[in-house]
Structure 1
Amino acid sequence: MTAPTTGAEDIAAASGAEATGESDAAPAPSYPLLDAPAEGVPDVIVDERALTAAAQLIAAGHGPVALDAERASGFRYGNRAYLVQLRREGSGSFLIDPIACPDLSPINDAIGDAEWVLHAATQDVACLAEVGLRPAALFDTELGGRIAGLPRVGLAAVIEHYLGVTLAKEHSAADWSTRPLPEPWLRYAALDVEVLVQVRDLMYADLEASGKLDWALQDFKALLSFTGPPQRAEPWRRTSGMHTIRDRRALARVREVWQTRDQLASDRDIAPGRLLPDALIVAMAGTPPRSAGELSALTAAPKNGAPARRPRKPHHGLMRYQRDWLAALTRAGALSERELPVVTVKGDGPPPLRAWADREPIAAARLSQVRAELSQFGEQHGVPLENLVTPDSLRRLLWHAPTAWDEAAMRAELTSYGARRWQVDVVVPLVLQAVEDHPTDPVTDE
């Protein structure tokens, strides 16, 4: 069976979209604010001469290298880096403009085989690779924090836990494509790597003392192959509000408008949602406007039962690209029945959990038992359930049974889904026990 994800993609899924790991369960204590780099804010490197000098300094340093990248998510199309931050003992901190210096291979050569230290590596490694930075080894303080059992694993929370100071967060969602970058933003960016290696050293000792260092190192190694989230076959189906559309012709309208928006956004380097919100795509798919006048009157459906309110003026992208939207709707209307998208796409994975009890009650019982025992294991060892095994991998394993329910087949199957060796060691014995407790052909007393 084809593996649904790689191990690195499993880690990305477990870490979450923004990889903050913050919780509102209890108010956090207050900590002193780390508000300025000890050596000041370095000048931004914007030319080859300064880049070469930085590479020489980094090569002369020692120990791991802290890295971070700032993007312009929500402002620009794609996830390219607009600022790269580095810090190494004996070298200092560096801020590099990857727009002015798009080839950072001299920095990559200077780092060599030294370990990278990042926080939430899946957020940064793909955009760093685009500018020529690829790790030979890495340590992820967000993922390591999860395995170490920290209650909160956002960068500020991890720094608070280990160093007793906190970082300001006011510029985390800024438009980093802005030029020139304001000094407060640069200070914020430099602080992101200021103490990351110190945190790494303390977390390393923590993991080693708890017997979980090897687990973390296996996960970090898997991250070296991460190239970004997998590309979806039909990304337009992720349009927010799609669940309200059950008509094939309306789905075709969503598809045509979404694809038009995506092309316009790519051409103009604008985040698609800023060009036209998903809610307006869904609105025009449900009641397609036929003219600029009808388009200008379009409103998004109210949320959570709130009364509909017409905005004072139409969304700027709605009218600026009105010809494009109307043309997309016309194309959707001209499609033949066989060209229309299906309402529901069948995936290659198991059915929804709610269907298991009726369709495969034995598999459902096994899954329930394994999940309960994994939860108990996670509580005992301070590791979130999603970091022990991804829900999708466990469901696939128990629904699509291997040819034989023996340990070797089970280990091979779970490994093919991207599980690391330590995860296989934890999960397989529990699955084998569940298979024994819930046999396919129950033995009955004579």
Structure 2
Amino acid sequence: MVTTLSTPRDGLPALCTTPSQLRKAERTLAKGTGAIAVDTERAGGIRYNDRAFLLQLRRAGSGTVLIDPEPHREVVGPALEPALSQTTWVLHDAATDLPSLYALGLYPADIFDTAVAAKLLNITPYRLPELSAALIGYTMHKSHGGEDWSRRPLPKAWRNYAALDVEVLLELAQACQKRLDAAGKSQWAKEEFEFIQHKATPLAPPRWEDSKAANSVSKPQELAVIRALWHHRDALAMAMDVAPHRLLPDKAMVAIATKRPRSVSQLMRLSAFPRDLRGHAGEWLNVAQAGIAAQPWPKRPRRQSTISASAWKKRDPSGFERLLAAETALEQVQADINVEADTLMSRRTLRKVCWACIHQGEELEQALDQTLLRPWQREQAQPVFRAAGLC
């Protein structure tokens, strides 16, 4: 029998917004025991960056605490650090939450990721409501995930939704750990958790070179236009605290760079240029033209790439057969060890390793060093590499 939670079992906690309330929340958490369930709500598609606008924390003996970091963002880290820094955090899909938590100056002793545990156990779907229902008999209503979490005041229904995200997370982690132990996968999980924890970084300033628009053009003069438009858009977005794509979509930047309009009327005729920006068309045209005038024009950085499957098959049929043998072996090994697809290794990673060994003459260990595969993955993937004749 599955119980659906519509409200927190202990009632909806108050929202902590002031420095004194933050310090009281830390003392409350410090009185608890064991790991702390942690979640965030962000507004990256609406605001300039993906910072946290709500923190949800829960610990045995402490209950749930809701934190609004926005009014006193610089205080949150120092206020909560004593309770959080020496403790295991339990998260669901930690890679999405950790950057915003690190940006607040909050770092865990270590983590447990229930979504990653589910993938290692090949339990699907691994969304929090379904996973909780399958393992501990609880699920929850999830109806406010796409809200603008920067809105203030936060509606009570939204806070209720957010509190439920950590309501059963500690119990779920215990159930996952038991299954990992029984399956002999606890070490695998430990390596995955450490990798996620140390790979995550605080919210980094974006770079124009990494934008979708920059990767959609190739000519130097097109890149020059993208660079100018991106920097202008970024400065405006930062000042307005708005997601950059809401000011000028990437597809509009690409259209301007490739079509090179010479007048406002030509710019406004571009189908990708938003109608609601027509009053600012002259501004964006001037920015694009200034980009062309700025010398030197940037060049697309040369990126190491792997040949496509079709080109590989045509160029080297025998080598391609070795890749196919490795891909077949990968499917079999993942089935044998019972992990979700791509958890052991993605096909893209496998192709890179095979290409490096077969066509670039690298030793297998040398090729593997260019990947981010963890020790457990390297060990379990040995049959895959043998199938390709790499070892």
TM-score (norm 1): 0.78
CA-to-aligned-CA distance 1:26-82 (integer Å, 9 cap, x gap): xxxx96531100111111111121111111111111111100011102101111111
- The answer to whether the 8 A contact 2:35-2:90 is kept is yes
Where do residues 232-271 of structure 1 align in structure 2 (5 Å cutoff)?
234-236=209-211, 238-239=212-213, 249-271=221-243
CA-to-aligned-CA distance 1:101-128 (integer Å, 9 cap, x gap): 3232332221343211001100010110
Going from structure 1 to structure 2, the CA distance change for 1:414 and 1:105 (only over 3 Å counts) comes to: farther
CA-to-aligned-CA distance 1:271-307 (integer Å, 9 cap, x gap): 0111112232233334344444444444229xxxxxx
- The answer to whether the 8 A contact 1:141-1:203 is kept is yes
* Paired position in structure 1 for 2:325: 369
The AA in structure 2 aligned to 1:274 is: R
CA distance in 1, matches of 2:303, 2:290: 28
Aligned partner of residue 66 in structure 1, secondary structure: strand
CA distance in 2, matches of 1:109, 1:320: 51
* Paired position in structure 2 for 1:13: none
- Which structure is richer in relative contact order (CA contacts within 8 A, separation 6 or more)? 1
- The answer to whether the 8 A contact 1:162-1:202 is kept is yes
CA RMSD of aligned residues (A): 3.0
The AA in structure 1 aligned to 2:275 is: H
Of residues 286, 289, 297, the one that matches 1:339 is: 297
* Paired position in structure 2 for 1:24: none
Of residues 36, 52, 68, the one that matches 2:7 is: 36
- The answer to whether the 8 A contact 1:248-1:340 is kept is yes
TM-superposed CA distance for 1:179, in Å, is 1.2
The AA in structure 1 aligned to 2:376 is: W
- The answer to whether the 8 A contact 1:402-1:410 is kept is no
- The answer to whether the 8 A contact 1:374-1:385 is kept is no
Going from structure 1 to structure 2, the CA distance change for 1:352 and 1:402 (only over 3 Å counts) comes to: closer
The AA in structure 2 aligned to 1:315 is: R
* Paired position in structure 2 for 1:425: 379
CA distance in 1, matches of 2:390, 2:84: 51
Structure 2 spans left out of the alignment, 5+ residues: none
- The answer to whether the 8 A contact 1:136-1:224 is kept is no
* Paired position in structure 2 for 1:386: 342
CA distance in 2, matches of 1:189, 1:106: 21
Aligned partner of residue 199 in structure 2, secondary structure: coil
- The answer to whether the 8 A contact 1:64-1:197 is kept is yes
TM-superposed CA distance for 1:415, in Å, is 4.4
* Paired position in structure 1 for 2:89: 116
Aligned partner of residue 234 in structure 1, secondary structure: helix
Does residue 61 in structure 1 map to residue 32 in structure 2?
Answer: yes
* Paired position in structure 2 for 1:274: 246
The AA in structure 1 aligned to 2:338 is: G
TM-superposed CA distance for 1:429, in Å, is 4.0
CA distance in 2, matches of 1:63, 1:377: 36
Does residue 434 in structure 1 map to residue 388 in structure 2?
Answer: yes
Going from structure 1 to structure 2, the CA distance change for 1:124 and 1:431 (only over 3 Å counts) comes to: same
* Paired position in structure 2 for 1:325: 284
TM-superposed CA distance for 1:323, in Å, is 3.9
TM-superposed CA distance for 1:436, in Å, is 6.5
Per mean C-alpha deviation after superposition, the further-off stretch among 103-112 and 148-157 is 103-112
The AA in structure 2 aligned to 1:339 is: W
CA distance in 1, matches of 2:42, 2:21: 22
Per mean C-alpha deviation after superposition, the further-off stretch among 30-39 and 176-185 is 30-39
TM-superposed CA distance for 1:135, in Å, is 1.2
- The answer to whether the 8 A contact 1:86-1:193 is kept is yes
CA distance in 1, matches of 2:268, 2:160: 43
- The answer to whether the 8 A contact 2:85-2:107 is kept is no
CA distance in 1, matches of 2:317, 2:79: 58
Per mean C-alpha deviation after superposition, the further-off stretch among 350-359 and 224-233 is 224-233
- The answer to whether the 8 A contact 2:121-2:340 is kept is no
Does residue 171 in structure 1 map to residue 144 in structure 2?
Answer: yes
The AA in structure 1 aligned to 2:288 is: L
CA-to-aligned-CA distance 1:379-414 (integer Å, 9 cap, x gap): 2332123110234432332222299999xx634642
Going from structure 1 to structure 2, the CA distance change for 1:401 and 1:179 (only over 3 Å counts) comes to: same
Where do residues 344-355 of structure 1 align in structure 2 (5 Å cutoff)?
346-355=302-311
Going from structure 1 to structure 2, the CA distance change for 1:382 and 1:281 (only over 3 Å counts) comes to: same
CA distance in 2, matches of 1:73, 1:142: 21
Of residues 228, 240, 259, the one that matches 1:287 is: 259
TM-superposed CA distance for 1:435, in Å, is 1.2
Per mean C-alpha deviation after superposition, the further-off stretch among 284-293 and 375-384 is 284-293
Where do residues 38-187 of structure 1 align in structure 2 (5 Å cutoff)?
38-102=9-73, 103-187=76-160
CA distance in 2, matches of 1:402, 1:108: 50
- Aligned residues between the structures: 387
TM-superposed CA distance for 1:223, in Å, is 1.4
* Paired position in structure 2 for 1:315: 275
CA-to-aligned-CA distance 1:313-370 (integer Å, 9 cap, x gap): x533x2354343111221244367x72645xx54213222322223444442322212
TM-superposed CA distance for 1:224, in Å, is 1.7
CA distance in 1, matches of 2:20, 2:357: 59
CA distance in 1, matches of 2:62, 2:158: 22
- The answer to whether the 8 A contact 1:68-1:118 is kept is yes
The AA in structure 1 aligned to 2:72 is: C
Structure 1 spans left out of the alignment, 5+ residues: 1-29, 302-313, 438-446
